[in-house]
């Protein structure tokens, strides 16, 4: 089972954080309820968490460039 749902814009996070929190936390809890006993769960993210990249592609050591 994959969890891929979340608003993808820092402007949205800052102006109305509740939907982001709901999609991530409540969404994950809901999906875990449907997970079979021997199932696997994958919770992923996108490059959006790094902000506007200064380096592309971003290595694992990239600290991010989020501007609020």
For the chain, which residues make up each domain, given as ranges? 2-50
The model's pTM is 0.54
The model's pLDDT over 19-64, given as tens digits with 9 standing for 90+, comes to: 888 888 888 898 889 989 998 888 777 666 666 778 778 788 887 7
Residues 6+ apart with CB under 8 A from 29: none
Residues 6+ apart with CB under 8 A from 67: 10, 51, 52
pLDDT of residue 25: 87
């Amino acid at each position: 089972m994959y969890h891929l749902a979340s608003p993808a814009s820092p402007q949205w996070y800052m102006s109305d954080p509740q939907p982001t929190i709901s999609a991530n936390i409540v969404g994950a809890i809901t999906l875990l309820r449907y997970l079979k006993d021997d199932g696997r769960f994958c919770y992923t993210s996108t490059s959006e968490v790094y902000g506007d990249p200064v380096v592309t592609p971003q290595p694992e050591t990239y600290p991010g460039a989020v501007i609020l």
